[in-house]
């Protein structure tokens, strides 16, 4: 394992907390050590309080922060003396412990301290690092894991048998550290969980972590259990394979039905995931359990093999009934939908309530695949007993988080596609849908559409909407990335300069109809198989124009194309209503912050009406400004529950146009 420490960078740190931030980020950069909020780091610092008294504080990584990006505010300061006293108690429930941690922080604005705070407190070192190193998890998840760990590390590490995270783990660690610790101790292994290193300097603690993980890597290499075969599989499904695309959308609909709400489904079909899903022993090696308890909290349960959702749900209900009977408190079953799916045709699919959740589950299981394969090469993969897994999944602290969680945004778990997304109304629609929780795909000829948002729930594609093959490919990419399509905003369009019919360039007429009308029909045709499988039923919003109801001279191509698109909307409403798909039109006017309204176009249109530019911009009866955000807000609302029973509606967004009224 590569040591990333840089003395010159470390020298820029002004104090111990800065060093804690620096070395934490180094650990976070290596995904084989920690993933998505996993792992914990801490530092003990003496500080003077408001009374002038010196006290020692434990600064520990707070809830919601990732080591890779953590900053000073991400560490929660807790009074060390109180933590040490808590560690001496014979028992402490996890809810009580959380309360004690929160009430003995010195900064009310700091994040909630890690559940492992007391464990960090009892270790007699200034700096403590904790990771879920893949190599350690690989070795400990074998039948002879304890023997292997002792062979690798001798008496340099304290070895802790598996104990569920929380107060009991801290108490056991304190006892075992007293028994096993010696002057050569540099770290601690938590079986089936992870690795600790510690020292009185940030550099030494980090160096020890890298050294210990490297020893574990060398052991696996020596045992011929490190290198994974370069799997090959011929004739893998491509993104343009329609049966695969529609199959994924159907599968997402089934998962969403099992969950009781829309879910995002991310699918990865590379050679390794396909080869893993097609292993002859896949049904054995994948059903032992997760690699670490930390993964249970994210992925919830065992992978589903194949696509028989009813069989999986039935098995999960049986699993819940079997293990919940041992609980002292009554338990409510979580939704039984799978989070990890392995299928010989699809490869690896991961479900989540959001695109971020699905992505996290994907990355966690990709690491789990490597761990399982290396454990199998070393000996065999053997995870924790299912009762231990159940107790983590139904941990009272996790249940409390779920109970406290507020209502998610209205489009959480849903996917939207916006054409003409790089500017004006389209750009505003993307933002509005993202704000309401949707995963959004933007399409535009402008390359800015790709980098418009840097987040996992957004993807941008440079694409000509008139290119049928490219649009089909984009829909396939969307299905692989998110699982299908729920909402379609047809916004792309062009507005040529004013020209009377007698002087019109017929090539321009054909171009306007192709972009404004034919491309819309084409995309609706391509999207229909996905929209009809949307968990909450498909929705389409046409961005029309005031010109549909009140055309003006010199705009025949634009007015005719928008009117025809509006008529197409009405026909689709008649044809698609049986599928629960609803489609409506918005007719904006005088929205001047869009790409269509160049200064030249505005001047030409004003001249055709015999108006000045200012008069033309202020020609609605309410004398209000209409912006792209105004139109986007209503477009998003039309996709929401308020319009659940409305289809074929035409709604003006124009401040009141005299001719329309």
CA separation for the pair 441, 449 (Å, rounded):
9
SS3 label, residue 461: strand
**Strand pairing category for 458-462 and 439-444:** parallel
Measured distance CA(219)–CA(1) in Å, rounded: 13
Judged by DSSP in three states, 316 sits in helix
Residue 591 is classified by DSSP as: B
Residue from 319, 558, 609, 616 carrying the catalytic annotation: 558
Tokens of 342: 């392995």
Alpha-carbon distance of 58 to 598, in angstroms, equals 59
Backbone angles phi, psi at 61, to 5 degrees: -55, 130
* Dihedral sign from CA coordinates of 363, 364, 369, 370: positive
Contacts of 63 (CB under 8 A, 6+ apart): 111, 112, 113, 114
CA 129 to chain centre: 26
Angle in degrees, CA 83, 88, 92, rounded to 5:
80
Whether the Cβ atoms of residue 554 and residue 616 lie closer than 8 Å to each other: no
Q: 504 in helix, strand or coil? A: coil
Structure token pair of residue 163? 């104990």
Contact partners, residue 341, CB within 8 Å, separation at least 6: 251, 255, 303, 304, 305, 307, 348, 349, 350, 351
- The DSSP output letter for 48 is E
SS3 track for 66-128: CCCCCCHHHEEEEEHHHHHHHHCCCCCCHHHHHHHHHHCECCCCCCCECCCHHHHHHCCCCEE
Rounded to whole angstroms, the Cα distance separating 585 from 569 reads 7
Instruction: Specify whether 558 is catalytic.
Output: yes
Q: Which helix (H) or strand (E) holds 430?
A: helix 424-435
Q: Output the CA torsion sign for 422, 428, 431, 433.
A: negative
CA 528/CA 540 separation, integer angstroms: 10
- Strand runs labelled E in 518-574: 539-543
Cα 261 to Cα 257, 258, 335, 337, 351: the distances in Å are: 7, 8, 10, 10, 12
Give the count of alpha carbons within 13 A of 238, CB side only.
Answer: 7
HSE-CB at 127 with a 13 A cutoff on CA atoms is: 24
Neighbour count for residue 181 (Cβ, 10 Å): 15
For residue 486 the two structure tokens come to: 């729920």
% helix, strand, coil for the chain, step of 5: 45, 15, 40
Q: Which residues are catalytic?
A: 558
């Amino acid at each position: 394992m590569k040591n990333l420490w840089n003395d010159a960078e470390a020298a820029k740190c002004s104090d111990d907390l800065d060093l804690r931030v620096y070395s934490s980020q180094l650990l976070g950069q290596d995904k084989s050590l920690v993933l998505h909020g996993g792992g914990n780091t801490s530092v003990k610092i003496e500080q003077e309080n408001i009374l002038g008294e010196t006290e020692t504080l434990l600064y520990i990584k707070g809830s919601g922060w990732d080591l890779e990006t953590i900053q000073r505010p991400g560490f929660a300061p807790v009074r060390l003396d109180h933590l040490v006293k808590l560690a001496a108690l014979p028992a402490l429930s996890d809810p009580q412990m959380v309360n004690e941690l929160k009430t003995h922080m010195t900064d009310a604005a700091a994040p909630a301290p890690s559940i492992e705070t007391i464990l960090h407190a009892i270790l007699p070192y200034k700096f403590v690092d904790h990771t879920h190193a893949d190599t350690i998890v690989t070795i400990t998840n074998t039948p002879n894991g304890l023997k292997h760990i002792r062979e690798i590390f001798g008496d340099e590490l304290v070895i802790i048998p598996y104990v569920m995270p929380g107060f009991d783990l801290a108490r056991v660690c304190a006892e075992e550290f007293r028994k096993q610790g010696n002057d050569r101790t540099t770290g601690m292994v938590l079986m089936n969980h992870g690795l600790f290193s510690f020292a009185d300097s940030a550099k030494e603690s980090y160096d020890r972590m890298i050294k210990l993980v490297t020893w574990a890597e060398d052991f696996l290499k020596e045992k011929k259990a490190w290198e994974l075969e370069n799997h090959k599989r011929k004739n893998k499904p491509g993104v343009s394979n329609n049966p695969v695309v529609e199959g994924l959308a159907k599968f997402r609909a089934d998962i969403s039905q099992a969950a009781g709400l829309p879910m995002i489904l991310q699918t990865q079909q590379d050679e390794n995931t396909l080869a893993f899903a097609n292993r002859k022993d896949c049904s054995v090696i994948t059903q032992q359990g997760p690699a670490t308890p930390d993964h249970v909290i994210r992925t919830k349960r065992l992978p589903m093999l194949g696509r028989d959702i009813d069989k999986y749900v039935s098995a999960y209900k049986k699993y819940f009934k079997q293990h919940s009977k041992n609980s002292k408190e009554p338990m409510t079953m979580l939704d039984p939908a799978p989070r990890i799916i392995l299928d010989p045709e699809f490869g690896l699919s991961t479900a989540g309530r959001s695109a971020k959740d699905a992505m996290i589950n994907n990355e966690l299981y990709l690491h789990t695949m490597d761990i399982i394969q290396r454990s199998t090469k070393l000996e065999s993969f053997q995870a924790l007993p299912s009762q231990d897994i159940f107790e983590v999944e139904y941990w009272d602290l996790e249940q409390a988080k779920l109970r406290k969680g507020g209502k998610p945004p209205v489009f959480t778990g849903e996917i939207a596609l916006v054409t003409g997304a790089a500017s004006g109304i389209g750009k505003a629609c993307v933002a509005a849908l993202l704000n309401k929780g949707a995963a959004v795909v933007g399409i535009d000829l402008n390359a800015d559409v790709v980098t418009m948002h840097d987040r996992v729930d957004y993807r941008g594609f440079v694409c000509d909407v008139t290119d049928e093959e490219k649009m089909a490919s984009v829909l396939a990419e969307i299905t692989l990335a998110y699982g299908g399509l729920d909402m379609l905003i047809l916004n792309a369009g062009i507005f040529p300069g004013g020209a009377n019919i007698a002087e019109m360039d017929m090539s321009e007429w054909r171009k306007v109809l192709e972009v404004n009308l034919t491309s819309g029909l084409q995309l609706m045709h391509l999207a229909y198989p996905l929209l009809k499988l949307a968990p909450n039923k498909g929705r389409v919003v046409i961005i029309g124009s005031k010109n549909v109801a009140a055309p003006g001279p010199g705009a025949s191509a634009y007015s005719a194309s928008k009117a025809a698109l509006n008529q197409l909307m009405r026909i689709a409403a008649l044809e698609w209503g049986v599928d629960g798909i609803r489609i409506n039109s918005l007719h904006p006017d005088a929205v001047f912050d869009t790409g269509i309204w160049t200064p030249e176009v505005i001047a030409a249109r004003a001249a055709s009406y015999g108006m000045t530019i200012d008069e033309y911009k202020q020609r609605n009866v309410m004398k209000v400004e209409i912006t792209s955000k105004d139109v986007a807000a209503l477009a998003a609302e039309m996709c929401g529950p308020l319009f659940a029973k409305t289809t074929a509606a035409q709604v003006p967004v124009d401040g009141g146009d005299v001719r329309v009224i």
